[in-house]
Every structure is written in structure tokens, then in C-alpha cells.
Amino acid sequence: MYKKLTLVPLLLAVAVLYGQAPAASPQTLPSLPAGYLDKVGDEAGRMDKAFSSGGEKYLREMAAEEARLQKKLQQLDPAAANTLFGDINKRYGQLQSSLHAGAGIDHSLAAYVPSLDTLKNTLLFLQKYKDGADATKLAASLEKVQGLQARLGAAEQLKSALDQRRQYLLEQLGKYGMVKDLEKMKGKIAGYKQQLQDYRQSLQDPSRLRQKAITVLSGLPAYQHFMRQNSFLASLFGQPDSYQLSDSSLKGLQTRALVQQTIREKVAPGGAHAEQQVMQQVQDGTGQLSQLKASLTALTTKGMPDDPGAGSNSRKTRTFWRHLEYGADLQFQRPNNLLPVMADLALTLGYRVNDKATIGVGLAGKIGLGNGIQDIHFSGQGMGVRSYVDWKWKKNLYLSGGYEWNYLSQFRSVSQLENLSGWQHSGLIGLSKKYRVSAKVQGKMQLLFDVLSYQQVPHTQPILFRVGWAF
């Protein structure tokens, strides 16, 4: 047991004992992407405001919920109600003030966002070495990024404070049979946690402009050395000078080979058996970590029994604009006696109701492509208005349906579209398969059956195949 308890401090002691290599000052910094500093400042300021306003909203709701609970408890025990709740407005006013002021940068893994840490240290590096007219913009951007880090630390502390408050009220109100009355508060805390997670997720996805700037600077040895000495992970474990940013997709983390090499170097003076003892302790620790990982995986799969966020709709706490899904799709139709080969190009706007369902509308333009490969020419052949629903069935398969109006004639003015007899109706049902194209683009293939196709004049093809993209 003693050996196991000493494993963690031993590893920490070994990891931080790295030599300090001097870094040469860069002679000339490469040019950064145009608008980089302005974009960074705007992004940080916008996210800082989102953290602040989101926290304020939930604090107001929590204060109102405590006032409701206090009022109900006063009917059972007025003295206990005054003691338990006290001055609710003062308590939540203090929490709101700490959120606005920022609680300083939280030096813990809970508040660590890799891309934000890299952004801050990149700006610090530029501030140290870059001269010229950008100094003012650089200072302003750095101030906003550091303010965002402080706000993130304050938000994490607020989350912990709300959890502790709910747990305390759960223990005290349980004596009066009011446990079920805390369900609403539990849901609000779950909402705040989900919103905080969404904001953190957006911070973890750096813009192309920031990625390009890091790529430009990564070739400088001075930048690499600066990041090794000033990153958050370096403050915990340190990084050897031989480590390169491109060594691993897990940038900023140390490789296994480097850790083993360092252990050998540090324990060599202890004698022939020292390395063997350390490696044995590492293996014991690895076994313990594997057991903890398995336990954590089981808990994550089942959902922790007292976790307010377990089973909640992750879309519920997002703003209206973050529920929207923009898309486009393409469909080809065979020719008939009246119509040439056509392509339907549609733009769609969807609303993510929850993690499974999306509803939306779209507008399509019908483009004639001619009558075959020997007669290709483009022409306008009408337009379409559509609605659709996608419901997740399993994995990446969705049940899809929709109702569409299609105008299959050329028109020269909007007034021609007012004649409803010129519109055909389609009722679609089928399956959709969604797949990931890139980090921000999702592809979609649809196989649909038009249940009203045989009622159309002229008849339209009953089976439709569409490909689409969502952004």
C-alpha cells in the first residue's frame, strides 16, 4: 500500500526535473494572417459575454427557486426556513459579483481548455518579441483572452458552488419530506452544466485563422521553447527540450519514450535495482489506472445516480441560433414527354428540436439540363417549396419525411406562382444516412418514396435519391 501511495509524487518529481535550455530570440517573426489580432479579440470578447450572461440567467432562476422553497418551508417551520435560506438575494448577488469580476485563472484540469491555453501563450510570445504598430491591438487581445480564462475559472467555481448548495438543501429539506421539491433546482443546475459544456466545446474548436497563425509560428525554435516553458501542462509536468510540437496528435503531452528516458536518467544514481523498482511501481500504477478507467466507463454508460445532467437533452440549454442547421441538397430527375432532365438544387434551414429530431423548410430551384448528353443546355424549369422531418432511428440512420410543393413550369414573374393549380404536391417518406465530411460539415444521403407520385399529372418518379450537406 505504501508503494502505491508514493507512486504519484514519485512520478511528479521525476517529470518536473528537466534541464532548462536557453531559447534564442527570433530575428524576424513571420507575418501573421491578416486580421488575426482583431479576430482573436472579437472571439474572446463574445465568449466572455456569453459566459457572463449565461451564468447570470441561471443565478436569477436559482434565486427564484430558493425563494419558492423558502416560502413552502415557512408553512412547516418558519424558524428553520429563515435559518436555512437566510438572505437569498444577498447570497446570489455575491455569486453574481464573483462571476462578473472573475475568480482568477483556475489552475486545475477542470478549467483547462487546450486551445485557449495555446492562444494565450501565443499572444504572450508575440508580446515579448513583436514590435511595431500592432502592440496596442496585441495588448487588447491578450487582455480579453486572459479575461476569458478568468471567467471560465469563475464559471467552474460557480458550478461547484451550485452543486454544493443543492446537496446541502437536499440533506436539510429531506428532514421535512421536501426532496421532490428540489427536482426543478436539479434540472436548472443540469442546464447550467450543459451550457458551460457547450461553451467549452466551442472554445476547443479553434478557428482556421488561429490554426494558421500557430502553423506559421510553430517552425520557430523560440516559439517551441516558449510554449514548453509557459503552457499549462508545462506548469504541471514540464517538457523536455527535445520534444517537438509535431511529435504527436496529442500536442503538449509527453511521449511515453521520453518519460521512460527521463526516469532512467534520474534514477541511475540509485543503483542497479533502482530503475527496476521504479518501473514496477509504474506498472502497478498503470494497473490501478486501468481499473479506474473501467469503473469510470461503466458509470458513464449507466449514468451517475445523482448526476443532474444524466439523460438530459443537450440541445435544451442552447440559444435559438445554435439550434439552427443550414444545408443544401441535390437531386436529379429523369426526363419524360413534357420535361427534360432536371436537377433540383435546394437550400434548407433546419431546427434541432433535440438530439434526435430535426424539422426544417427549404426552397429549391429546378434547373433543366437538356435531353441527353448530345443535347445539354441549361434552363429554368420552376421551383419548389418543401418541409421535412428527420428522426434518428439508430446510429447514423434517420427516418425522414416531408411535404413538398413543386412548380414545374418556367415563370417570368412572381404573380404566375399565385395560380395554385400549377403546383404539384409530394408526400415523401424514407431513410437518410448521415456521415461526417469534416469537423463542421455533415453529409447526408436520402432514399425517399413519393406516396403522391401516381396522382400527379404528369406522373413524377416515385423513388427519389438525394445527396446533401449540413453546416
Give per-residue pLDDT as tens, 394-432: 888 999 999 998 887 777 777 777 777 778 889 999 999
Q: Parallel, antiparallel, or unpaired: how do β-strands 442-450 and 324-333 relate?
A: unpaired
The stretch 21-47 carries a mean pLDDT of: 70
So what's the pLDDT on residue 392?
A: 92
Is the pLDDT reported for residue 467 higher than 90? yes
Q: List the beta bridge partners of residue 384.
A: 364, 406
Query: Which band of pLDDT confidence, cut at 50, 70 and 90, is reported for residue 350?
Result: very high
So what's the pLDDT on residue 301?
A: 45
So what's the pLDDT on residue 248?
A: 41
So what's the pLDDT on residue 268?
A: 63
CB of 150 within 8 A of CB of 105? yes
So what's the pLDDT on residue 431?
A: 95
Give CA torsion, residues 374, 379, 384, 388, to 10 deg.
50
* Among 221-230, 249-258, 288-297, the least confident range: 249-258
Q: What is the 3-state secondary structure (H, E, C) of 258-278?
A: HHHHHHHHHHHHHCCCHHHHH
Kindly state the percentage of the chain with pLDDT values over 70. Answer: 68
Looking at the domain 323-470, which fold is it? Porin (2.40.160)
Kindly state the percentage of the chain with pLDDT values over 90. Answer: 17
d(CA 329, CA 468): 4
Where are the CATH 2.40.160.20 domain residues in the chain? 323-470
Is the pLDDT reported for residue 347 higher than 80? yes
List the Cα angle 199/204/208 in 5-degree steps.
115
Q: Which residue has the higher pLDDT, 328 or 212?
A: 328
Is the pLDDT reported for residue 100 higher than 80? no
* Among 27-41, 176-190, 316-330, 439-453, the least confident range: 27-41
List the Cα angle 444/446/447 in 5-degree steps.
160
* Among 127-136, 320-329, 400-409, the least confident range: 127-136
Assigned C-alpha cell, 286? 498503470
133-166 pLDDT tens trace: 577 888 888 888 888 888 888 888 888 888 899 9
Helix orientation angle between 183-203 and 135-173, rounded to the nearest 10 degrees: 160
Name the 3-class secondary structure at 391.
strand
Is the pLDDT reported for residue 332 higher than 60? yes
So what's the pLDDT on residue 406?
A: 87
Cβ burial of 98 (10 Å; 0-12, 13-18, 19+) is middle
So what's the pLDDT on residue 67?
A: 92
